[in-house]
Chains A and B, each alone.
Chain A
Amino acid sequence: MHMADALISPVTGGAMWAATAGLISYCSKKVKDDLDDTKIPLMGVMGAFIFAAQMINFTIPATGSSGHLGGGLILSIILGPYAAFLTIASVLTVQALFFADGGILALGCNIFNLGFFPCFIAFPLIYKKIAGDNPTQGKIIAGSLISGIAGLQLGALSVVLQTLFSGISELPFTTFILMMLPIHLAIGIVEGLATAAVVVFVFKARPEILRSASEATPIGNISVKTVIIGFLGLAVITGGALSWFASSRPDGLEWSMAKTSGSEELKEPSNHIHEALSGVQKKTAFLPDYGFKEPALENTKEKIGEETPAVEGQESWPAVNAGTSVSGIVGGTLTLALAVMIGFVLKRKKY
């Protein structure tokens, strides 16, 4: 699952960007230092291969649905973790820019979730350990399956944590986890099977490719461990620094994520989510909300003028001045109209 810009806070997005940027420059350096310059075109076409591979589906037995290759794991097996990470990062960048998959701010999260875990955890710590230097068909299948699942479970967990830290979505942690992990277990199995199918084919047809790929990646465990610790550390530090920066200047940009609070406009924001989650607030009328639609909003808008003082009186929890909200909506509509008008005027000018 791709994270989306709409669901993350600047702090989370920024921290993951920092971690990902660090990883990209680290991997770039590694690839540059690796004197094997055949990797440069190879990485490029492998990235394109991932796109193309996603067009080809297979039927998941007994379900009627179909699955396809994700990418991180097969890239690691063919290219080694560093080049694979750069490749998956490039694939996600193209997806973010052209298909609006995720978004630009969430790109850091997505590259981390879908690149870091398969390339730097699942591949070196699981796949390599199982498949080893003398792979057999059985070892390849077991290795792909287990590392496919592990990579996606970690990625899913990471999505949940990022969403939680951002505090934009209201999904409670446990619900979200219970939703995400089983889904990604299934996706992980599909990914593992798809990877295994391709790798087994290559193993039978041209085993030397797998051999040279595993030789060309001189990574001891120490190096991988350093990478993992280093970048997790980097993410935590940047995240911490950014939230400190945010909390130290409450009047400035309300980088509200750290406290998972609402916006500054809320008078009593800090603990409202937790209360909401604990289900204390059962008094709320849920059904009327169901009937609520945007046209209704438009219709009621005019009437609100007179009612504003009254509404202002009854402070609903958490306290929001209804008057300001209404004027916000009125003003917002106006500014939108203004923006559109400016657009039109500029267009006129041009032609």
Chain B
Amino acid sequence: MAKLDSQLFHIDALDELASGNSVFHNLDPRAKLVTTLVFIGTVVSFGKYEVSALIPFAIYPLVLISVGGLPFFYLAERVLLVAPFAFFIGILNPFFDQTIMVHLGSVSLSGGWISFFSIMLRFLLTVGSALVLIALTGFHAVCMGLEKLGVPRPFVVQLLFLYRYLFVLIDEASRMIRAKSLRTFHSRGTKIRTFGSMLGHLLLRTLDRAQRIHLAMCCRGFDGHVRLICPLKIGWKETIFVLGWVLLFFSMRFYHISEHLGLMIMRNIV
């Protein structure tokens, strides 16, 4: 339970970062959203044994972080926190794919290890860019961007409402857990019956709250449609941002920068 509490703290921290002020912060959320999607799509489009060609893509999150003035180590920590999942699935690859694919001097590398590194790299890039997107934009603005990009209004409203009441309900649940653990003298288990009654109460309170919110909405003229003002504008800055990055991604996709650079250097050395 402490886990979720701290996660909540991080939601807060990410949103706080989004209130910063930089060229990239001030861009229309749609520009960042689309670019990040293209980025992720390009990264995962590489073959599964690709490692070196993925490396140049790190430039996207890195540039966003530095220009946006985001705390690199904090974000890195967030990414690494979820890394075990990709790691455990990826680490199985070397067991199933043992064909030697690369010899580095006396060391032979199997396809499994290469694809494992590839998985980890993809993971770092995709997860990293998603976190950077939020830290640079904020959830509210991302939702507004989604709405302008044609995501159905009920779903956008749902996201906003969920986000609004996340903190309220987690608070309520924490109070409940605290009250329970004080009276059970911190004994560890919870019987399913107690569990049902705790969650059941929380559910009933939630339903009552929904009713009160509905009342509050009705009092202010709610007629089934939630209207939003989204002051979004695509200007030349946004256009340059999207086009520039997408061009870079595609050229990095088709022109293997790392390999050409490496070959060039090695030819000179040899």
Q: Do chains A and B touch in the complex (CB under 8 A)?
A: yes
**Chain A residues near B (Cβ < 8 Å):** 2, 4-10, 13-14, 24-25, 27-29, 31-32, 35, 37-38, 40-49, 51-59, 61, 66, 69, 74, 78, 86-87, 89-91, 93-94, 96-101, 103-105, 167-172, 175, 193-194, 196-198, 200-202, 205-206, 209, 253-256, 261-266, 269, 272-273, 276-277, 281, 284-286, 288-289, 292, 296-297, 300-301, 303-308, 311, 314, 316-318, 320, 322-336, 338-340, 342-344, 346-347, 350
Taking CB as reference atom, which chain A residue is nearest B72?
A343
Determine the chain A residues whose CB is within 8 A of the CB of B63 once the complex forms: 339, 342-343, 346
Check if A31 sits within 8 Å of B258, measured CB to CB: no
Q: Which of B172-180, B227-235, B239-247 contacts A (4 or more CB under 8 A)?
A: B172-180
In the A-B complex, list the 9 residue pairs whose CB atoms are closest, starting with the nearest.
Answer: A263-B47, A44-B161, A197-B196, A201-B200, A331-B262, A328-B52, A327-B262, A58-B195, A331-B258
Name 19 A/B residue pairs within 8 A (Cβ), A-sorted: A27-B155, A32-B153, A40-B161, A40-B217, A52-B173, A55-B1, A78-B203, A169-B93, A175-B96, A265-B50, A276-B99, A308-B266, A316-B108, A317-B99, A317-B100, A322-B102, A325-B101, A326-B102, A350-B22
Residue in A272, A300, A316 with the greatest tally of chain B CB atoms within 10 Å:
A316
Determine the chain A residues whose CB is within 8 A of the CB of B197 once the complex forms: 201
Check if B169 sits within 8 Å of A51, measured CB to CB: yes
Determine the chain B residues whose CB is within 8 A of the CB of A58 once the complex forms: 189-192, 194-195
Taking CB as reference atom, which chain B residue is nearest A69?
B199
Given the known interface contacts A91-B162, A305-B269, the answer about A201 and B105 at a Cβ–Cβ threshold of 8 Å is: no
Determine the chain A residues whose CB is within 8 A of the CB of B204 once the complex forms: 202, 205-206, 209
Determine the chain A residues whose CB is within 8 A of the CB of B209 once the complex forms: 45
Check if A171 sits within 8 Å of B92, measured CB to CB: yes
Check if B262 sits within 8 Å of A330, measured CB to CB: yes
Given the known interface contacts A93-B159, A264-B47, A329-B51, the answer about A56 and B195 at a Cβ–Cβ threshold of 8 Å is: yes
B74 proximal to A (CB < 8 A): no
Taking CB as reference atom, which chain B residue is nearest A30?
B154
Check if A97 sits within 8 Å of B142, measured CB to CB: yes
Given the known interface contacts A4-B89, A104-B40, the answer about A209 and B134 at a Cβ–Cβ threshold of 8 Å is: no
Determine the chain B residues whose CB is within 8 A of the CB of A32 once the complex forms: 153-154, 224
Given the known interface contacts A5-B126, A52-B202, A265-B49, the answer about A197 and B195 at a Cβ–Cβ threshold of 8 Å is: yes
Determine the chain A residues whose CB is within 8 A of the CB of B86 once the complex forms: 4, 6-7
The interface size bin for chain B is: 35 or more
- Smallest CB separation, B202 vs chain A (Å): 6
Given the known interface contacts A54-B4, A168-B48, A305-B266, the answer about A198 and B58 at a Cβ–Cβ threshold of 8 Å is: no
Contact of A326 among B82, B207, B223, B266 (CB under 8 A): B266
Check if B155 sits within 8 Å of A318, measured CB to CB: no
- Smallest CB separation, B89 vs chain A (Å): 6
Segment 67-101 of B: residues with Cβ below 8 Å from A? 67, 69, 78-79, 81-82, 85-86, 89-90, 92-101
Residue in A9, A307, A343 with the greatest tally of chain B CB atoms within 10 Å:
A343
Contact of B98 among A54, A284, A297 (CB under 8 A): A284
Check if A7 sits within 8 Å of B162, measured CB to CB: no
- Smallest CB separation, A158 vs chain B (Å): 16
Segment 229-270 of B: residues with Cβ below 8 Å from A? 253, 256-263, 265-266, 269-270
Query: CA separation between A339 and B63, bound complex, in Å?
Result: 8
Given the known interface contacts A318-B101, A327-B263, the answer about A5 and B256 at a Cβ–Cβ threshold of 8 Å is: no
Check if A59 sits within 8 Å of B190, measured CB to CB: yes
Query: CA separation between A48 and B213, bound complex, in Å?
Result: 14
Check if B90 sits within 8 Å of A41, measured CB to CB: no
Check if A169 sits within 8 Å of B89, measured CB to CB: yes
